[in-house]
Amino acid sequence: MVSRGIRGAITVDEDNASGILEATTLLLKTIQAQNDFAVDDITSILFTATRDIKSIYPAQAARDLGWDKVPLLCFQEMEVEGALPLCIRVLVTINTEKEKDIKPVYLRKAIILRPDI
């Protein structure tokens, strides 16, 4: 079994707790569905949020999903001029037998971050 990382990102319309939780939940569920893994396969999840997201930690969405044994950590995304605002990014690390077919997930306005997929 190998450890693989799955990237993803999503945007919110404004900085409020309910919108952040809804968006992060959607992102995590979509990553899980498209990559077909169990919660027990997750080794950790790293979250970043742009500076304009302050209402709640995006990691709370994972806790609300019942992913309470998964190590979670939130960071502030680097501030780069012209960067996509109101964006939450994740790196979900899983243990898997998959050598290929890991599917990154970019939703809403975050699709511009990976035009190649």
User: Which residues form the catalytic set?
Assistant: 7, 63, 74, 77, 89, 106, 114
Taking the C-alpha atoms of residue 115 and residue 49, their distance in angstroms, rounded to an integer, is 20
- What φ, ψ does residue 22 adopt, rounded to 5°? -65, -45
Please choose, from the candidates 71, 108, 104, 103, the residue with its C-alpha nearest in 3D space to the C-alpha of residue 90. Answer: 104
